[in-house]
Structure 1
C-alpha cells in the first residue's frame, strides 16, 4: 500500500492577509512620505488626478500619473508570468521574489536620492508602484474571493449586502472583516514606522516582510497543492 502525504490547508489566504497588511503600510509610506500619492490603491490616484486637474493645492498630477503607469506595467508583468508559469506555487513565489527585489531597489533609491528631491521622489514612487502592480495583477489572476490585498470597496459592499441585517447569510464575513482589519492595521503600522525609520527604512522592512512571507508560503506543505 502506498501512503500519500496530506498537503494540509492552503496557505494562500493567510499569505494574502499578510500582503494586505503590507499594502496598507505601502500606501501609508507613499501618501504620507512621498507627497499625497498612492502606490497600491489606484482608485485613490484617479481621484487625485481629478483634484490636480482643477488646481487643488497639495496634489501632483505628475506623481499620480507616474504611479498609475508604473502600476499598470507591474500588472502586465504579472500577466506574462501567468502565461509562462503554469504552476500556481511558482507564480506566487516568483511574484514575491520580484516584489521584494523591487521594494529593496526602492529603499535604495530613497536612501541615495532622497524623496525630498523631485527625481528621487518619482523614482521611489515608480518602483513601489511596479511592485504593487505585480502583486495586484497576480492576486487578481489567483481570484481568491474577497482578498484583493488593496481595494476594499467590493469587500465592504459584500459584507453589508450579504449580512443578516440585509437578509443574507453572512457568507464570507470572517474573511471580509479580516481583510479590512489587516489593511487598517497595515496603514497604522506604516504611519508609525515612517516617523522613526523614514521612507527608506520602512521600504526595506517591507521588502524583508515580503521575503519572509514567500519563505513561509514555500515551507508550508499546502503550497504544493495542484
Structure 2
C-alpha cells in the first residue's frame, strides 16, 4: 500500500533580534507600570509577584483584589497559549514566527489604548478589569511568541535574566551586558509610562502599543511553512 504523506513539519523560526528585543522589553516595562498604576495595582506579566499577591489576598479575605490578580493570571496564560501557537504552530496551524504572536499583542494593546481614550482615562471597575485582562493577554502573547521560537531570552519578566547575569558574573567573571541592558530598558519603559500617567493621563497606554508596533516592524518577515516531506520514508 502507498504510504500516506506525513503532516507538514514546521521549521524552527528565528527569535527576535536585538532591536526587536529591546523594544519589547521597553513595552513590557510600560505595560506593567500601566497595569499597576491604572488597572488596580496588578502587574500584567510578573506571574511570581501576582501569585504571591493572590495568596495574600486570599489569606486576608480580600476577594476584590484576588479577583483582579486571578484575572491577570488568566489573561497572561491565555495570551501565552495564543502567542505560542501563532509563533510555533502545531499540526495544521502554520508557524508564523515571532511576528505571529507580536501581531496578536499589537492588536490587544491598541484595543486597550482605544478603549482607555474612549473612556477618557477613567473607566469604571468593570471596564478596568477588562482592560487588565487584555493587557495581560498582550504580555502573554509577547513572551509566548518569543519562547516558542526557541529564544532563551524573556522580554516581559526579568527574574531569570537577573539570576543568569549574576551567575555569569560570579562564576565566569563576565558581565552579561545584554541582560543588564534589558533590566535598564524595563525600568525605562516603566518610568516613561509612569510619567505619562501623571502628566499625559489619557495617553498612558499608547507608549506600549507604539513600542510593540515598532517591534513588529523590526521583526523579520512572516515565516512560511516548511516544505512537506511526503517523499520521505
Tell me the TM-score normalised to structure 1 length: 0.80
- The equivalent residue for 1:51 is 56
- The equivalent residue for 1:3 is none
Larger Rg over CA atoms = 2
> Which of 103, 106, 109 is the aligned partner of 1:103?
109
Deviations 1:65-96 (A, max 9, x none): 1111011111111232211333xxx4222222
**Does the alignment pair 1:118 with 2:125?**
yes
The 3 A distance-change label for structure 1 pair 46 and 168 is same
Tell me the TM-score normalised to structure 2 length: 0.78
User: Residue 84 of structure 2 contacts residue 147 of structure 2 at CA under 8 Å; is this kept in 1?
Assistant: no
Relative to its length, the structure with more helix (as a share) is 1
Q: CA deviation at 1:116?
A: 4.4
- The equivalent residue for 1:204 is 206
Distance 2:189 2:195 in 1: 10
The 3 A distance-change label for structure 1 pair 72 and 101 is same
- The number of aligned residues is 205
User: Residue 34 of structure 1 contacts residue 115 of structure 1 at CA under 8 Å; is this kept in 2?
Assistant: no
Distance 1:182 1:58 in 2: 34
User: Residue 115 of structure 1 contacts residue 124 of structure 1 at CA under 8 Å; is this kept in 2?
Assistant: no
Over aligned residue pairs, what C-alpha RMSD do you find?
Answer: 2.6
Matches within 5 A, 1:73-92: 73-81=78-86, 82-83=88-89, 84-86=93-95, 90-92=96-98
Q: CA deviation at 1:46?
A: 0.6
- The equivalent residue for 1:130 is 137
- The equivalent residue for 1:149 is 155
Deviations 1:179-205 (A, max 9, x none): 11111111111111111232x522233
- The equivalent residue for 2:194 is 191
1:162 partner SS:
helix
- The equivalent residue for 1:26 is 31
Q: CA deviation at 1:153?
A: 1.7
User: Structure 1: 5+ residue runs without aligned partners?
Assistant: 1-9
The 3 A distance-change label for structure 1 pair 59 and 150 is farther
Q: CA deviation at 1:57?
A: 7.0
Distance 2:194 2:33 in 1: 6
User: Structure 2: 5+ residue runs without aligned partners?
Assistant: 1-14, 227-233
- The equivalent residue for 1:40 is 45
- The equivalent residue for 2:74 is 69
User: Residue 101 of structure 2 contacts residue 144 of structure 2 at CA under 8 Å; is this kept in 1?
Assistant: no
Distance 1:52 1:38 in 2: 14
- The equivalent residue for 2:9 is none
Which structure 1 residue ranges, 4+ long, deviate > 4 Å from structure 2? 56-59, 113-116
**Does the alignment pair 1:176 with 2:182?**
no
Deviations 1:99-147 (A, max 9, x none): 11111111222233555411111110011111111111111222333x2
User: Residue 96 of structure 1 contacts residue 214 of structure 1 at CA under 8 Å; is this kept in 2?
Assistant: yes
